[in-house]
Amino acid sequence: MNQDGTVNSREHPAARHSVVSIFLTGAGLMTPVPADGTVPKLPYAKIALRVLIDGDAEILYAGDAPSLVEGLVQINFRLPELARDGLTPLQIQIGNYWDTSFPQIWIR
């Protein structure tokens, strides 16, 4: 999801240095440990991770997806100024695990 609320696509690429939100599952244990199947409550559980897009992206938030079911993680990050244009791969590292699904993001 782009900073302007549009779904990231070729027609709606994210601008460099803008904030992008992605959602994922399977992030492992969070702190504090939430109960499965519940809706997150404040304070939201957090998780430590890295997002790489032509270098480290600035992580603004990584944790429970507010108002959605536990187990869904939201990551808000700022795209690096030097990120390349077009369809660009992003890598997510959680602990020692690197995501192998090879997600991509459109950047302008």
Number of domains comprising the chain: 1
DSSP string, 36-93: TTSPP-SSPPB---EEESSSBPEEEEEEE-TTS-TT-EEEEEEPPTTPPSEEEE-EEE
Which residue range is the domain that position 77 belongs to?
Answer: 19-107
Q: What is the CATH number of the domain that holds 44?
A: 2.60.40
Structure tokens at 54: 């032509």
pTM: 0.84
pLDDT mean by block of 10 residues, the chain; 108 residues: 96 96 82 75 74 92 84 91 93 85 91
Let me know if residue 5 belongs to a domain: no
